[in-house]
Each structure stands twice: as structure tokens, then as C-alpha cells.
Structure 1
Amino acid sequence: MPISLSVIKNKLDDHIGQPILVTAQAGRRKVTERHGILRETYPAVFVVELDGESAKFERVSYSYTDILTQNIAVDFE
């Protein structure tokens, strides 16, 4: 597990433009998986452009803190 937010950001910076799978806790016993492309990283958040027509949103953003606290899991495809 990464130790700091800067380490997480640096690791994500290396994967900009690559396919990504974000698994998030959506509530009690519910897990949401979103496939997309890692588009941008900012000082506090990163942006994922979602794949598919079934998605309600075109892009979503997540905080590096979500990864650190294990609220989301990120896998590169």
C-alpha cells in the first residue's frame, strides 16, 4: 500500500492515457466497477474518462485519499 499521497499521484502520472478499472464501495455490500481511461491528474484528484454508452457520466474524478484509505481500488488493464 502506498505511504503518501505524493507517491500515489506519481504512480498515476506514469499511467496517463492507459485503460483503468476503478472499483469503489457504493454502499452496504455494493461494489461499483468503472472502466475507462486515466485522462488527467491534478494536485488533489485524478480524472477517468468512462467507456461505454451505458455510463450516466462521461468523466468521473476521484481523490488520492480514496486510494490511501482503500475506499477505491485502481487496476490498470
Structure 2
Amino acid sequence: MSHADIQKVKFSLDRNIGNRVKIRANRGRHKIDEAEGVISETYPSIFLIEVFNKADDTTQKISFSYTDVLTKDVQMQLI
């Protein structure tokens, strides 16, 4: 995993800020979280996804690192 690979992921997410995504995150020990949200912000090491919870009408921001995407601990699909 090189710095160039991380920059490619960051650039791709920068272009898609504001777009809806479906996320599947591997949290370890056979725990997988699935959510739909909007790419809200990107930073040098992490990016934020804003997820709307329909059950109680709240929003939550979840952060992931670019290396999570490269190691496939987080899988994203544009909706």
C-alpha cells in the first residue's frame, strides 16, 4: 500500500462529496455494519460519512480512514 494509492482513494472521495453511498464495514469478529449515508467531508487521513437514522430522526457522522478502503475493511458503493 503506497502513498499514491491512498491519494487515489482520497481524490475519488473528494470528487464525490455530497453523493449518497452504501457502506459495508467489517468491524471484526464476524461483525459487519451496513448503512447508507452521504460523504460529508474529507481530511488528510480520514473521511466522514453522515448517516441518517430513521428510527429516531437523528444524524450521525462516522469516520473511516483511506487505508480501511484499501484493505477492504470498508466497502462503498455509490447510490
Whether the aligned pair in 1 keeps the contact of 2:27 and 2:73 (CA below 8 Å) is no
For 1:27, give the aligned amino acid.
G
The structure number with the bigger radius of gyration is 2
For 2:69, give the aligned amino acid.
I
Residue of structure 1 equivalent to 2:67: 65
Q: Could you tell me how far 1:26 is from its partner in structure 2?
A: 2.9
Whether the aligned pair in 1 keeps the contact of 2:10 and 2:42 (CA below 8 Å) is yes
Number of residue-to-residue matches in the alignment:
75
For 1:70, give the aligned amino acid.
K
For 1:76, give the aligned amino acid.
L
For 2:30, give the aligned amino acid.
R
Deviates more, 1:20-29 or 1:47-56: 47-56
In structure 2, the gaps of 5 or more residues are none
Deviations 1:9-64 (A, max 9, x none): 00011100000111011333332111111011100000011023337861111000
RMSD of aligned residue pairs (Cα, Å): 1.9
Give the TM-score normalised by the residue count of structure 1.
0.84
Structure-2 separation of matches of 1:70 and 1:46: 15
More helix by share: 2
Identity rate of aligned residues, in percent? 32
Structure-2 separation of matches of 1:57 and 1:28: 26
More strand by share: 2
